Chains A and B, each alone.
Chain A
Amino acid sequence: MTDQATTPTPDTDETPVAAPTPADAPTPIRATPGVLEGEEPSVEALERDWQRDGGEVPSEEPLADPAHGIVEGEALLRVSGLKKHFPVYGGLLRRQVATVYAVDGVDFEVRKGDVFSLVGESGCGKTTLGRTVLRLVEPTAGTVHFGALDVTRLKSSELRRLRSKMQIVFQDPFGSLNPRMPVSDIIGEGLIAQGLTDRKARDRRVGDALEAVGLRRDYTRRYPHEFSGGQRQRIGVARALALEPDFIVLDEPVSALDVSIQSQVLNLLLDLRKDFDLTYLFISHNLSVIEYVSDRVGVMYLGQIVELASSEELYRSPRHPYTLALLSAIPDPDPRRRHKRLVLKGDVPSPVNPPAGCHFHTRCWLREQLGNPEQCVSAEPDLRELMPGHKAKCHFAEQVSGAKAAEFAAEHSTVVPAVVDA
């Protein structure tokens, strides 16, 4: 314990990590940014391709890496006006009968090196947003800038190459690994797709990735069903990591895991962020996890961000009635702190028919407390900046406070009705 005490506590920015690379050590992959070692079509050729295809990229940028030159704290990802509407077909002729407003006009920025989190209830559009950002789902409107590149305007060949920079880890450790493929192929196929056809080099990278997530190198011949849930999730992380991305969307990476395994995987993800200089878009519905990992948080409700703030700010002084209710709903594992809950009425309305005006007005406790002002129904509030870096989408955000919420909770202590019938 004593020598731990003497260890300096370094600041990430100040400590260049001198990476000793002995001659026989596995090949470092980051030798040149974005260049894969052992590629079959020559590196130069690929880079030329990239330059030819990516017409919008300023020519002085090294085109193989759109994130190059962005330093910690600058925006790596800028999402603006992003919308994704799914058509709903019905009837005999399968005509479009309705629209799901899954993501409905979202703006945010993720700074390099940050963990930006999205939190919200089921169906509020977190997953859709995360996938639209990577263009695994085509957006209906809006833009996503990754560094200097507009992801929404890339051709499919360019997009495929960009995949090595932007990755995703899925929620379900069982569903996201092909049960019919050995681990070597699961992790290695991304490398093949990115042009690393040399078998030996690929195996080495797969082994490195496995090692980085705490699994043994020789697991490569095994199949997913031979692993526990937590280990499978590590394989999912290794698959993303093998491509050496700058940015990873983590879609509920620990929600399907046991409590004791959750913390292992969270540790892993945060370690990897430091080690490989990653930026995360972290999606979760678990507010305790979000509080632990995030730098900034966006709270989503019915396809929109209703509050956006730094993690400390959001948890210390939430400015949207919905955020407050969410925070109040977290069960506290300390039995000595039994608090009076602020319980919301009813269910989340369907994203097919979001309520008029403020989407939250059907469940809003503040509106009820204020005597149901008409404004909430007639006008949609803006996502306003209340303080630098803290935005909320509520007409009465200034009046939101813990005291008011407690007052409301105290008045409404009986069984909460399930729905508000319109």
Chain B
Amino acid sequence: MAHEAKSLSTPTGSAPIDVEADAIQAIGMGIAQPDDATALRREEAGADYEVALESLNQWQLAWRKFRHHRLALMGLGILASFFIIALVGPIVWPFDFNTIPQPDVIVYQGRPPSLVHPFGETGGLQRDVLNLVINGARTSLFIGFSSMALGVLIGTIVGSLAGFIGGVLDNVLMRTVDVFLSIPLLFLILVASRFFGNGNVMLIVMIFAFFSWMGIARLVRSLFLSIREREFVEAARAVGVRDRRIIFRHILPNAISPIVVSASLIVAANIISEAFVSFLGFGVNPIYPTWGNILSNALTFIPLGNWWWPFFPGLMIILTVLAVNFVGDGLRDALDPRTRA
């Protein structure tokens, strides 16, 4: 057999067959064609597709779409400023439990906002509410976000294993999720905080994480099940790509946007839970301010009509939750490949 297969890179112009084919082409369209089949092929393919000459990767594209989402941008702004406050505030203006600003004056209901104390003063020890809120931000945001991160990590691992490996493991893991979901959550958090918490922030983070991974696990499992069937995964398998790479390069990146969205919901939920647990007295050690602690202290004084004391930490919680939700919303749109900017 004389015919030698060409290698991919061999110039194809030397194949007389193609010249003949070109002749047909040329007659058909009434024009002279280049006698190089590769050039012809390239010409047929179209020099350029003009839609996107600028090459944007997934994140650049997402950012472009995100920018057009006004609420999400606002949310991002709020979150960013809260983070800066949480990082810088306590350094500039620290809180010390043992330093009591005005030990001799005790106004039972505190003082309303004034120029010196824009958020007012607490009852009892006359602490500055702004100072408390700033110092509380660090712990509250830390709890909200890190418990989310941990929960998402656990949920993603469990969901991936269940969805990718399937079979018995899938059954075991998913039944575990069911069990966790059927436990009355709040009650367990309270009990767990009581026994293991001791007001320690890290432990509280772990407890929250431990109870916020189930939704993510279910989501990730179903994403894995559906993305696994997508053609590009099959195509990767067809060229011999190994499972690990399929998980990390193909499935997870395509699962990211729903995960991000539900993660944002978890942050919001956990910040609220922190406030709630603290309010019930099972949260972070009350000698450290958190938004929840401030709120819970304030509420015992509520009958005295000192609205400013619970109002500002409450406002912070609401703003954070809203901001996180808006950002999540924006991210969902931005990461959805079906919507083109």
Residues of A within 8 A of B16 (CB): 7-8, 10, 15
* A230 at interface by CB-CB < 8 Å: yes
Least Cβ distance of B201 to chain A in Å? 36
Question: Quick one: which of B204-237 are within 8 Å of A by CB?
Answer: 230-232, 234-237
- Most chain B CB atoms below 10 A, which of A19, A27, A175, A242: A19
* B175 at interface by CB-CB < 8 Å: no
Least Cβ distance of B39 to chain A in Å? 9
Given contacts A1-B26, A161-B240, A222-B55, contact A214 B38 (CB under 8 A): yes
Docked CA distance A15–B245 (Å)? 43
Stretch at the interface among A39-47, A114-122, A166-174: A166-174
* A243 at interface by CB-CB < 8 Å: yes
* A241 at interface by CB-CB < 8 Å: yes
Interface 0/1 of A163-187, CB less than 8 Å to B: 1100110111001111111100100
Question: Quick one: which of B272-327 are within 8 Å of A by CB?
Answer: none
* A242 contact from B8, B232, B337, Cβ within 8 A: B8
Interface 0/1 of A59-79, CB less than 8 Å to B: 000000000000110000000
Contact assessment for A213 and B240 in the assembled complex, using a CB-CB cutoff below 8 Å:
no
Interface 0/1 of A1-27, CB less than 8 Å to B: 100110111101111111111000111
Contact assessment for B15 and A215 in the assembled complex, using a CB-CB cutoff below 8 Å:
no
* B37 at interface by CB-CB < 8 Å: yes
* B17 at interface by CB-CB < 8 Å: yes
Residues of A within 8 A of B232 (CB): 175-179
Docked CA distance A130–B174 (Å)? 34
Contact assessment for B10 and A170 in the assembled complex, using a CB-CB cutoff below 8 Å:
no
* B5 at interface by CB-CB < 8 Å: yes
Docked CA distance A327–B267 (Å)? 61
Residues of B within 8 A of A5 (CB): 23
Stretch at the interface among A139-147, A263-271, A385-393: A263-271
Residue of B nearest to A72 (CB): B1
Docked CA distance A208–B282 (Å)? 65
Contact assessment for A17 and B15 in the assembled complex, using a CB-CB cutoff below 8 Å:
yes
Docked CA distance A176–B21 (Å)? 30
Contact assessment for A268 and B41 in the assembled complex, using a CB-CB cutoff below 8 Å:
yes
Given contacts A223-B58, A225-B340, contact A275 B15 (CB under 8 A): yes
Docked CA distance A191–B238 (Å)? 12
Question: Quick one: which of B39-60 are within 8 Å of A by CB?
Answer: 41-47, 49, 51-52, 55-58
* A199 at interface by CB-CB < 8 Å: no
* B41 contact from A30, A214, A243, Cβ within 8 A: A214
* B2 at interface by CB-CB < 8 Å: yes
Residues of A within 8 A of B6 (CB): 17, 19, 30, 275-277
Contact assessment for B254 and A179 in the assembled complex, using a CB-CB cutoff below 8 Å:
yes
Question: Quick one: which of B325-341 are within 8 Å of A by CB?
Answer: 337, 340
Contact assessment for B231 and A175 in the assembled complex, using a CB-CB cutoff below 8 Å:
yes
Docked CA distance A31–B8 (Å)? 11
Interface of B is mostly: helix
Contact assessment for A30 and B1 in the assembled complex, using a CB-CB cutoff below 8 Å:
no
* B14 at interface by CB-CB < 8 Å: yes
Docked CA distance A240–B234 (Å)? 13
Least Cβ distance of A129 to chain B in Å? 15
Stretch at the interface among A231-239, A301-309, A402-410: A231-239
* A268 contact from B23, B44, B241, Cβ within 8 A: B44
* A216 contact from B8, B37, B42, Cβ within 8 A: B42
* B253 at interface by CB-CB < 8 Å: yes
Contact assessment for A221 and B55 in the assembled complex, using a CB-CB cutoff below 8 Å:
yes
Contact assessment for A167 and B41 in the assembled complex, using a CB-CB cutoff below 8 Å:
no
* B150 at interface by CB-CB < 8 Å: no
Residues of B within 8 A of A274 (CB): 15, 17-18
Contact assessment for A225 and B1 in the assembled complex, using a CB-CB cutoff below 8 Å:
no
Residues of A within 8 A of B5 (CB): 30, 275-277
Given contacts A28-B7, A193-B242, contact A234 B14 (CB under 8 A): no
Contact assessment for A21 and B10 in the assembled complex, using a CB-CB cutoff below 8 Å:
yes
* B131 at interface by CB-CB < 8 Å: no
Residues of A within 8 A of B14 (CB): 17-20
Residue of B nearest to A29 (CB): B7
Least Cβ distance of A160 to chain B in Å? 4
* B11 at interface by CB-CB < 8 Å: yes
Given contacts A178-B254, A228-B49, contact A19 B7 (CB under 8 A): yes
* A244 at interface by CB-CB < 8 Å: yes
Given contacts A4-B22, A205-B8, A211-B38, contact A14 B2 (CB under 8 A): yes
* A257 at interface by CB-CB < 8 Å: no
Docked CA distance A163–B4 (Å)? 22
* A227 at interface by CB-CB < 8 Å: yes
Interface 0/1 of A267-308, CB less than 8 Å to B: 110010011110000000000000000000000000000000
Contact assessment for B245 and A163 in the assembled complex, using a CB-CB cutoff below 8 Å:
no
Residues of A within 8 A of B52 (CB): 222, 225-226
Residues of A within 8 A of B58 (CB): 179-180, 223
Closest 10 CB pairs of A and B: A190-B239, A277-B5, A214-B41, A214-B45, A28-B7, A26-B9, A163-B240, A193-B240, A4-B23, A30-B7
The chain B residues found within 8 Å of chain A, CB to CB, are 1-12, 14-23, 26-27, 37-38, 41-47, 49, 51-52, 55-58, 61, 230-232, 234-242, 245, 249-250, 253-254, 337, 340
What are 14 A-B residue pairs whose CB atoms fall within 8 Å in the complex?
A17-B4, A17-B15, A18-B14, A28-B9, A71-B1, A136-B234, A178-B253, A193-B241, A214-B42, A214-B44, A226-B56, A234-B45, A268-B44, A268-B45
